[in-house]
Amino acid sequence: MEKTQCPKTPPKTKCATDLNQKQLFTPMRLVIFGPPGAGKGTYSKLISERYNIPHIATGDMIREEIHKGTELGTSMKKFVEGGGLVPDEIVIEILRRRISAPDCKNGFILDGFPRTTAQAKALEKIADVDLVINLTVPEDVIIRRLSSRRVCRNCGAIYNLISMPPSRPGVCDKCGGELYQREDDKPEVIRRRLKEYETQTKPLVEYYGKKSIIRDVALVKEEKVEEVIKRVYDIIESVKLK
C-alpha cells in the first residue's frame, strides 16, 4: 500500500492525508484477542495512543475495583485470584457502562472482552465491532512470559524481567511506582487461566471467523514488540482503507 505519495487520481491508493482524515473521523471499534500473556495489554496501549481511541481492559477495571475494596470488587476477587472468569452478568454490566461514556463514540479497543460466547452476544447488542486482532502464541512462550511479568501498581505499565526489564529493579521507569507480580501470574494459577482460555474464549475465534472480521497475528518466538506492532498497524490500516 502506497502511503507517502498522493496520486492525482486516487481511487484505490490513498495518501497519508486521506489516512489521517479517515482515522480521525471513522469510528474504529477493535477487539484484541489472544491467550493470557500474548501481550494484549502492551499492544492495546500502543494502538490506543496511535489511533487516539480509549483502551478498555476489563481485567484492569476489575483489578482496580478489587483494589478499591468496593462491594463489587470484593465479589469478584475470588474468581480473579483463582484464575477463573468473573461471571458474565457482572463483566457485561461493567463493559456496558464504560462503552457508553462519550470518549468511546469514535471507537475503542477492547482488551480481555469478550471472553465467552455470552459476552460476545451481549457486545453485539451494545456496539459494532470492525476488526478482531487475534494474537497467537506458543504455550511455552506464554508460561515463561506470564511468570516474569511485573506491573506498576501506580500507572499500570507492564514490564517483563526477561524481555523488558525496568532500569531499576522493582521500580517503574515511567512514574517511579512500585512493581508487583499479579496474584494470578503465579504458576498454579497460570495453568487454570490457560485452561479457561482454551475452553471458554478460544471458541470465539471461530465465532468471529464466521463474521469474517478476525485477522491472525502469529507471534514468533521472542519477536520484538516493535516488529509485531508494525504488522498489527498494517492490518488495522488495510481494514480502515477498504
* Active-site residue, 115 included: yes
* Active-site residue, 40 included: yes
Active site residue: 182, 202, 231, 240, which one? 182
* Active-site residue, 50 included: no
| Sheet (strand 107-111) strand order | 55-57, 107-111, 28-33, 131-136, 214-218
Among 32, 36, 109, 135, binds ligand ADP (CB under 6 A): 36
Q: List all residues 6 or more positions away from 150 whose beta carbon is below 8 Å from its beta carbon.
A: 158, 159, 160, 161, 166, 170, 179, 180, 181
Angle at 121 between CA 55 and CA 22, to 5 degrees: 45
* Active-site residue, 29 included: no
Instruction: Please name the amino acid found at residue 130.
Output: D
- Using rule CB under 6 A, residue 55 touches ligand ADP: no
- Using rule CB under 6 A, residue 156 touches ligand ADP: no
Tell me the closest approach of the beta carbon of residue 68 to ligand ADP, in angstroms.
15
**What is the spatial distance between Cα 51 and Cα 135, in angstroms, rounded to a whole number?**
19
> Among candidates 84, 90, 100, 32, which has minimal Cα distance to 61?
90
Helix (H, G, I), strand (E, B) or coil at 219: coil
Tell me the closest approach of the beta carbon of residue 155 to Zn ion, in angstroms.
3
Residues that bind Zn ion (CB under 5 A): 152, 154-155, 157, 172, 174-175, 177
Interacting partner of 155 out of Zn ion, ligand ADP, none (Cβ under 5 to 8 A depending on kind):
Zn ion
Residues belonging to the active site? 40, 115, 149, 182, 193
Tell me which residues touch ligand ADP (CB under 6 A): 36-37, 40, 58-59, 62, 79-80, 84-86, 91, 112-113, 115, 119, 184, 193
